[in-house]
Structure 1
Amino acid sequence: MHRLTARLVRQTAAAAAGRQRAGTPAAVLAPRSLQHTRRFHATAGRRRPLAPQLIQAIASPFRLPFAEPAPQPVPVFVAPAPAVPLTQRIGLLWQAYLRSLEQRPLLTKAATSFVCVFIGDSLAQLIGGVPYSLVCVLRLAAYSSTVGAATGHYWHRWLEANVHPAQPTSSKAVTAKTLLDQLVLSPAMLLLYLTALKMMEGRPDMIVPYVQDKYLTTLVTGWALWTPYNLASFKFIPQDLRILAGNLAGIAWGTWMSVTCINAAAPSAISGACPATAAAVAAAVAGGAAGAM
């Protein structure tokens, strides 16, 4: 480095001398040469690394503006919803049933009758110890949800509107409604049911012997059970809930009739046509008396 400096000094001096001999004033070139020499000496003693500067100069056009990272949401612990108690679930279902009964009374009663008769007759067949017949169950449920539910719906509305409407729960009103139900509607509904049952089975020739065999005994048995029930029903159960109450009572009644009648009865052309005939006939009486059908 010192040799290079000395050479530059000698070259500068020689150039100045040559120009002086050629007529160029040395004072013009001397300051510039000396300035260049001083700058070289000043920078020569400093050994600055060039790599970081070059990297910075090259990378500066490609730098992205600095952006602060988005704040991360703080995790919040959410406790699981407590399980709804069974009683509350039943209450919600009951409220939904009442709303449906208010908005679509006939359709709701028909669905109620179908479900209850399906359950009741299935139990009657299973407990009675006979082969299960889905056809018989569907046949009875279809009859109950159409003829029985519609008849019970309009019958109870007529009773409430025409039999002591000012005092619907008085003793006179309850007694009159029960007598009309048991002496007018029940005999007619039982006869209609026995006839329709044989028609749905495709055996119209068996209608007369079947009615003669089942009608009177079933009617008297139904009177003994459903007369006290109707007295309580007309007194305490609201009109729109009587079909539901009658269906629930009909499940127990049909099961009992299945145990007492089906097991005791010998197979015959009349009683063997449908496994749960005795229970179904008993439910028909319940339909006439309590609006369950």
Structure 2
Amino acid sequence: MAVFAFKTASRAVLRRTHFPSRPQSQPHFTKRHSSNHPATRPKAEDDPASGTAIPIPATVANVPLWQRLGPLSRGFQAYGRSQRKRPYATQFCSSLVIYFLGDLAAQKINGDEYDPKRTLRALVISAGSSIPSYKWFMFLGNNFNYPSKVLSLATKVTVNQIFFAPTINTYFFAMQSFLSGDSLPEVWERIKNTVPTSMINSCKLWPAATAFSFTFIDPQYRSIFAAFITLGWQTYLSYLNRKRGIKSTSFAAVK
């Protein structure tokens, strides 16, 4: 019996030495947060039932009117992309289209039979004025910018009327007369008969159009805005050139 008890105790000692008992795992308790805890308590302003919820402001930016006109908006956007990538080519082609339509409208108003030579003269005049006109308005937009927006706008309008308006009008009527085959004295006579009248009438239109353009129109769309105004203006200039040309021819015949 003593031997059996000794063997049993030896086995127990060896078992404890080579195979230590695993510690009993502590029971896991999940901490339950109280609803009264400040971090979990719902805020009064977030509770719709409290009537004090703060509304979230709208994050959608206002879109200009001309960008909400369906196919017309896509046309404006395509023109803006072309203007940014190829400004000179875009301005050149736009000017050709404007002068072409303006001359067609003027011939229609006069009631005369369509004269393709007259349209060709208008396209030649457009080709010579498109890039300088674009460069001028870019210069005007990048300069005369003062802390006062009113002063900046008034300066731009005044400078445009004093320098650009008489220059472009003189160029238009002089080239119309020269391309028609008139001599230099006849060209000068055409300028004297047309430019003063056109300058007076331009003061009724272009200051307001220029002020509106530099105030509300983005730079990439200013040229297309001016194109719509120029379409009507070129129609008027073509009509005035034709009217003064008839008077000059009649005067020369009588003389």
CA 1:154–1:130: 2 relative to 1, 3 Å:
same
Residues 1:156 and 2:137 are matched in the alignment: yes
- State the partner residue of 1:128: 110
- State the partner residue of 2:162: 183
Give the deviation of 1:176 after TM superposition.
0.4
Report if the CA contact (8 A) 2:98-2:231 is conserved.
Answer: yes
**Letter of the 1:129 counterpart:** G
**Letter of the 2:204 counterpart:** A
Matches of 1:227 and 1:154 in 2, distance apart? 19
Counterparts in 2 of 1:8-157, with a 5 A limit? 88-144=70-126, 146-157=127-138
Matches of 2:112 and 2:192 in 1, distance apart? 24
Give the deviation of 1:239 after TM superposition.
2.8
Matches of 1:219 and 1:235 in 2, distance apart? 23
Report if the CA contact (8 A) 1:109-1:244 is conserved.
Answer: no
Matches of 1:208 and 1:176 in 2, distance apart? 31
Give the deviation of 1:157 after TM superposition.
1.8
Report if the CA contact (8 A) 1:163-1:177 is conserved.
Answer: yes
CA 1:127–1:196: 2 relative to 1, 3 Å:
closer
**Runs of 5+ unmatched residues, structure 1:** 1-86, 273-293
- State the partner residue of 1:210: 190
Matches of 1:150 and 1:108 in 2, distance apart? 10
- State the partner residue of 2:24: none
Report if the CA contact (8 A) 1:129-1:263 is conserved.
Answer: no
Larger of the two Rg values belongs to structure: 1
**Letter of the 2:105 counterpart:** L
Superposition TM-score, scaled by structure 2 size: 0.62
| 1:73-109: CA deviation from partner (whole Å, max 9, x where unpaired) | xxxxxxxxxxxxxx64433333222211110011101
Larger RCO of the pair (alpha carbons < 8 Å, separation 6+): 1
Matches of 2:181 and 2:245 in 1, distance apart? 22
- Choose which of 206, 211, 214 in structure 2 pairs with 1:234: 214
CA 1:263–1:121: 2 relative to 1, 3 Å:
closer
Residues 1:200 and 2:179 are matched in the alignment: yes
Q: Comparing 87-96 with 243-252, which one deviates more in the overlay?
A: 87-96
| 1:155-205: CA deviation from partner (whole Å, max 9, x where unpaired) | 1221222211x66x9111111000000011111222222222222222233
Q: What SS does the aligned partner of 2:89 have? A: helix
- State the partner residue of 1:174: 153
Q: What SS does the aligned partner of 1:268 have? A: helix
Matches of 2:245 and 2:92 in 1, distance apart? 34
CA 1:153–1:190: 2 relative to 1, 3 Å:
same
**Letter of the 1:239 counterpart:** P
Q: What SS does the aligned partner of 1:106 have? A: helix
| 1:39-60: CA deviation from partner (whole Å, max 9, x where unpaired) | xxxxxxxxxxxxxxxxxxxxxx
Matches of 2:243 and 2:140 in 1, distance apart? 38
Report if the CA contact (8 A) 1:117-1:140 is conserved.
Answer: yes
CA 1:217–1:233: 2 relative to 1, 3 Å:
same
